[in-house]
Structure 1
Amino acid sequence: MTRTSGDLTSTGSVNTDSPALYACVITHVRRTPLRHTLRHRTYLWCVDVDRLPVLPRPLRPLARFDARDHFAGTAGSIRAGLDAFLATQGVDLKGGRVMMLAHARVFGLVFNPLSVFWCHDSSGALVCVVAEVHNTYGQRHCYLLRTDEAGQAEVDKEFYVSPFFAVEGRYRMRLPLPGERLGLTVHLEHDGGRAFTAVVQGVRRPASVPALLSATVRRPWSTAAVWTGIRRHGIHLLLRGLPVHPRPRSTPQKGILP
């Protein structure tokens, strides 16, 4: 990564193009066949993929953005990986701005259940939103969404995420570009009802060094905590007798790690 005007500074000063941190509460509500609620506190980054932040060298273990963590994982940059995926969908942003909401690597570890990319064209108009989903089996899948003015879109479920849900149903997503507040919602609808809802709510802070240190102290090993939390709740549901759906043989999506 190279230094840009989006770098963090020890004074905490940032310009309008600088990255942001969102202190978040993530809520999962499973409605069928058992009702179960999960709440988890963490923090997420919102960054321009062409202006990724670079921390002062001693703090770099606290946040790193790697191309290997997104899309096929083989491109030279996150932007290149995104563009390669969009090309398979017939989309050319012509160099337009892309904002990404995701976890960064913390002490070498990262797990992003959902990364979101807001893709604009060269005039600044929003072309599409890419929702990249990761499961705990090391697989990834991207949904290309054409959102409306409220940031809403629907898409068929095509990817195995939880062992307690088959690859069936339809997602109704609301993914507006974050501002001072972050508010994302994903509903899974199946058999005429709402089976599952995930909500991400957060408050923006400029990504200064003090803000990052504060977030790290409050949520150390944040991405590892997300992964272990999902596993822990999975064990809880298994012990409650929730049936498991076998993981299907995956068919690699173009431009995505199978």
Structure 2
Amino acid sequence: MNAAPAPQAASPRVPALYECTVAHERTGPVRHAFRQRTYLWLIDIDEPPRIPLGLRPLARFDARDHFGGKAPTLRAGLEAQLAAHGVENADGRVLMLAHARVLGHVFNPLTLYWCHDRAGTPVCVVAEVHNTYGERHCYLLRPGADGLADVPKDFYVSPFFAVEGFYRMRLPVPGDRLDLTVQLRHDDGTCPFTATVRGHHRPAGARALIGAALRHPWSTARVSAGIRFQGIRLLLRGLPVRPRPVHPTQEGTL
């Protein structure tokens, strides 16, 4: 789906914290659903939050955790990815939604970058996906006015799904509410998997960070462990594992 860019909206207040609920629902061949509470950051990649010294172990944003992990800054890593897709006008503000590194650990199943031109007009969204095998892949999307975009599935994530079909993503820029949807769809019209992320905006002050960290201790490790735990449950229910193909290094993530 190559729709026209979404109209310019009011700029979200950043940095922000979204305490949110992540929900996964699988409809076949085994029905399975779970929900997990966590929190995510929304930041301007050129103006990351200034975390007080004593709280820095609770929130770090490192370029090594994204794209190829070798760029000196988040902006440089993103620009390499955009250049690989021929995007030249996303040189304005970029908002990133992600987990921060917490107590030395980070795992981001999905990091989103809303890219704008210098006039503030939306250009594209980059969806950076990490799997539990240490691999990364980026999808370039151009959502329409409804926030929807389709993109072919090119990356092995769940061991129970083959690399086939396409994703339908609804990715409106977060505001007072965070409301994202990612669906795996097949050409026959079936939708075997849906993930949603929903939460509410909070200014990212020291008190908010401490509260979120206390309510969701070691949040990124819990996300990683939760994914593996759900995988074990599905395996014990007899869901077959699909072979993992070799994932070629993606241009722009060297």
TM-score bracket for the superposition, by shorter chain length: over 0.9
Unaligned runs of 5+ in 1: 1-15
Among 193, 197, 201, the residue aligned to 2:198: 201
Residue 3 of structure 1 aligns with which residue?
A: none
> Is 1:192 the equivalent of 2:189?
yes
User: How many residues are matched?
Assistant: 242
Residue 69 of structure 1 aligns with which residue?
A: 65
Residue 220 of structure 1 aligns with which residue?
A: 217
Identity value in percent:
63
Unaligned runs of 5+ in 2: 1-11
Task: Measure, in 1, the Cα distance between the counterparts of 2:13 and 2:183.
Answer: 31
Among 142, 146, 154, the residue aligned to 1:158: 154
CA contact (8 A) 2:63 2:70 kept: yes
Q: CA deviation at 1:92?
A: 1.7
Residue 247 of structure 1 aligns with which residue?
A: 244
Task: Measure, in 2, the Cα distance between the counterparts of 1:149 and 1:129.
Answer: 13
Q: CA deviation at 1:61?
A: 0.2
CA contact (8 A) 1:154 1:171 kept: yes
CA contact (8 A) 2:13 2:203 kept: no
Among 109, 120, 130, the residue aligned to 2:105: 109
Residue 37 of structure 2 aligns with which residue?
A: 41
Backbone CA RMSD of aligned residues: 1.0
**What is the TM-score of this pair, normalised by structure 1?**
0.92
> Is 1:32 the equivalent of 2:28?
yes
Letter matched to residue 130 of structure 1:
V
**What is the TM-score of this pair, normalised by structure 2?**
0.93
CA contact (8 A) 1:93 1:119 kept: no
Q: CA deviation at 1:94?
A: 5.6
Task: Measure, in 1, the Cα distance between the counterparts of 2:83 and 2:31.
Answer: 40
Matches within 5 A, 1:54-93: 54-93=50-89
Task: Measure, in 2, the Cα distance between the counterparts of 1:203 and 1:256.
Answer: 32
Task: Measure, in 2, the Cα distance between the counterparts of 1:37 and 1:256.
Answer: 32
* 1:88-125 residue CA offsets vs partner (Å, 9 max, x unmatched): 11112363000000000000100000000000001100
Residue 95 of structure 1 aligns with which residue?
A: 91
Q: State the 4+ residue runs in structure 1 displaced beyond 6 angstroms.
A: none
- Cα distance change of structure 1 residues 74 and 147 upon mapping to structure 2, 3 Å threshold: same
Residue 235 of structure 2 aligns with which residue?
A: 238
* 1:120-159 residue CA offsets vs partner (Å, 9 max, x unmatched): 0011000000011100001110000010012110010000
